[in-house]
Amino acid sequence: MDYENNDVYEEDVRDFDVDIEQRKALIEEAKQIEDTGDWSALNRELSDLQRRWRRIYYWESAYEDTLEEEFDALIDKFYAKRRELYASVEETKKDLIKQAKALTNSTDWNRATEAMKDLMTQWKAAGSAGKEKDDVLWEEFNAARNTFFDRKHTHWEDMQTKFEQARKVKEELIEEAKKLEDSTAWQASGNAFKELFARWKEAGSAGREYEDDLWNAFHASRQKFYAARDAYYDELHEKQDALYQQKEELLAKAKEIAENTLFTREDTAAMKQLSVDWKAVGFTGKERDDEIWKAFR
């Protein structure tokens, strides 16, 4: 540089060599930077280096340009890696969005809910694709999640309405069952209980909170009726078995008389008495009674 008066620059002229050494020192710092994966901290460190570089006076020399190219290459290496990582994260998040959208119309609520939770965990672990893209990608991902969970909420509300309706129906059926539980009109009440049970199944679930208690109350009335009916018929069958045995004895006597071909007055009177005794025995059950009566007759 050709100056007419060097004294003018004694305070203001920057030392070229000092500035060059400062630039070299910054280049060495850039070489020593380690990629820890903490892009926030790394970005602050790189920005600080770039700010300090810009504060050094530029002498417009070719050597400075060479140093700047080296410095920029070192800095760009980190940003290139970050761009590569951003691109990878972007692809990962796009795939998660695709999976989330595929679940939006699912009616397998439990499985889809767990899948959505898993996608959210993967989303958080994916990292950043850059602030601008992160915001856009998140909006699309979250929209798919909201679509599913809105549908799930609507479904839940519908189910609650159905549960409430089923609960009211079943409470009414329980009251009807209670009115029948002590009935001794075995056939009519038995048919009525069958109808109540069919209506119970048609009513659907009242929800976990109520279903077991409702069923226990309804089933208790059914069991009380059926237990009483079974006890009645068990006792009846015992009586009919005893009566049937009596008719078997009368049949045996009738056969003995029938096989006696003398046809005496005594035999005739005895046979007539057997008929009287037969009627006195009573009913032993339709199928057996018809069969043994034919044999006796």
Q: 181-228 pLDDT, tens per residue?
A: 999 999 999 999 999 999 999 999 999 999 999 999 999 999 999 999
Q: What percent of the chain has pLDDT over 70?
A: 94
Length of the chain: 297
Global confidence as pTM: 0.56
Closest CA to 213 of 167, 154, 246, 151: 167
What does the alpha-carbon distance between residue 26 and residue 74 come to, in Å, rounded to a whole number? Answer: 11
Which range, 7-11, 41-45, 69-73, is most confident? 69-73
d(CA 140, CA 163): 34
Domain boundaries, the chain: 13-86, 97-160, 165-234, 239-296
pLDDT digits (tens, 9 = 90+) for 138-187: 999 999 999 999 999 999 999 999 999 999 999 999 999 999 999 999 99
Confidence class of residue 275 from pLDDT cuts 50, 70 and 90?
A: confident
Question: 246: closest CA among 284, 276, 198, 207?
Answer: 284
The C-alpha atoms of residue 214 and residue 202 are separated, in whole angstroms, by 15
Residue 35: Cβ within 10 Å count: 11
Cα–Cα distance measured from residue 86 to residue 72, given in angstroms and rounded to the nearest whole number: 20
Q: Report, in angstroms and rounded to the nearest whole number, the Rg of the chain calculated over CA atoms.
A: 50
